[in-house]
Amino acid sequence: MQRLIPTLRKDQVDLELLMLIRTILAATKEISFRVSQGALGDVLGSTLDENIQGEQQKKLDVIANQLIKNMLLSDANVRSIASEEEDDVVAGDPDGRFIVAFDPLDGSSNIDINGQIGTIFTIYPAKPSLAANDPAQFHQTGRSQLAAGYVLYGPSTMLMLTTGKETRCFTLDRTHGGFLLTNDKVAVPEKTAEFSINMANSRFWFEPTQTYINILLEGEEGERNKRYNMRWNAAMVGDIHRILVRGGIFLYPSDKRDPAKPAKLRLLYEANPMAMLLENAGGAASTGTENILDLETSDLHQRVPVIMGSAEEVEFAKSFYK
């Protein structure tokens, strides 16, 4: 089986970018080990601190963030770092060619129940004229991403990665500690009969979401003439992985719960990397009215409504958000 580095070399990925991807993955291998230790490794439970999102930090959020941040700061090609667990930009090497944003531990609410969790990352070119601690480094659209991926810590540890061409899937081989290529060209089925949304929020949804989801629930008696099933992992990395493997549609729409914060998911280190992986696998990613990848980030932790997955289903869903 082909290993990660020869695969990226065959794709003629820039050598320094390739080395940076390897740096990030070295940290995720350590996280994968710590996750597998569970209570034996004292990684379960929460700290007393809150992050900038107002969420109580889990021990593993802090451990994963520190591991990745330390690895990135040791790489002279990294100019700036943004993380879900860091309030502001972390300055790296002032001459670094790249900037990195990441969600160190997506699905934190699943940690203590041994559920699916993951690390989501994205790499952009640095803006040469800007300082390493300038948040405007990250004011770019998702189309500028040089590479995007996630590592899913589940029964096996899997990497989904794109460097601008195909989306590829790798599996961590624990015998020699390397990621091996297990799917050379991931292709999202165009159509689906499986949707993913937190139904508990349904009474707070705006009319377009209400209407669309009701049509799916009507199944074969409704406009779509087919019965839909539902899945919800409470970890975007798990839901998007399922969709990349067998199709589906994932929604986290805006809702009325908190007018100051109508959307939940973060554009920079959740929506953008997932949108790039999906689009390069033949899927689609929208806010309902705009392509996620066309949005320019204006704040490190800005939130966006998300509708992504099988292209034909996303097109149908968008027809309600006009």
Sequence-separated (6 or more) residues with CB below 8 Å from residue 226: 193, 219, 220
Minimum distance between the CB of residue 284 and ligand AFP, rounded to whole angstroms?
Answer: 18
Task: Specify the residue, 92 or 253, whose C-beta has the smaller distance to ligand AFP.
Answer: 253
Task: Find the shortest distance in angstroms from Cβ 106 to ligand AFP.
Answer: 5
Specify the residue, 106 or 279, whose C-beta has the smaller distance to ligand AFP: 106
168 in helix, strand or coil? strand
Q: Which is nearer to ligand AFP, 93 or 313 (CB)?
A: 313
> Considering the complex, what minimum distance in angstroms separates the CB of residue 229 from ligand AFP?
18
Q: CB of residue 58 vs ligand AFP: minimum separation in angstroms?
A: 8
Nearer to ligand AFP, 15 or 230 (CB): 230
Per DSSP, the three-state class of 102 is strand
- The answer for residues whose C-beta is within 8 angstroms of residue 31's C-beta and 6 or more apart is 60, 63, 64, 67, 68, 104, 105, 119, 151, 153
Burial of 66 by CB count in 10 Å (0-12 exposed, 13-18 middle, 19+ buried)? middle
For residues 321 and 208, the answer to whether their CB atoms sit within 8 Å is yes
CB of 156 to ligand AFP, least distance (A): 20
For residue 241, the minimal CB distance to ligand AFP (Å) is 11
Q: Which is nearer to ligand AFP, 77 or 108 (CB)?
A: 108
CB of 265 to ligand AFP, least distance (A): 6
Quote the least distance from Cβ 60 to ligand AFP, whole Å. Answer: 10
Contact 138, 99 (CB under 8 A): yes
Integer Cα distance of 117 and 274 in angstroms: 15
With respect to ligand AFP, which residue has the nearer C-beta, 116 or 163? 116
Residues with Cβ within 8 Å of residue 196, at least 6 apart in sequence: 230, 231, 232, 233, 239, 242, 243, 248, 249, 250, 251, 309
Looking at the Cβ atoms of 50 and 290, the one nearer to ligand AFP is 50
Q: What is the DSSP letter of 155?
A: S
Nearer to ligand AFP, 75 or 239 (CB): 239
297/268 Cα distance (integer angstroms): 7
Give least dist CB 236 to ligand AFP, A: 3
Integer CA distances (angstroms), 247 to 45, 160, 193, 241, 308, in order: 33, 15, 8, 9, 10
Q: Is 162 helix (H, G, I), strand (E, B) or coil?
A: strand
CB atoms within 10 A of CB 188: 25
Cα 214 from chain centroid? 27
What is the number of the residue whose Cβ is closest to ligand AFP? 236
Q: What phi and psi values does residue 84 have, to the nearest 5 degrees? A: -60, -30
Residues lying near ligand AFP in the complex (CB under 6 A) are found at 55, 106-109, 198, 234-236, 252, 264-265
Q: Which is nearer to ligand AFP, 20 or 64 (CB)?
A: 64
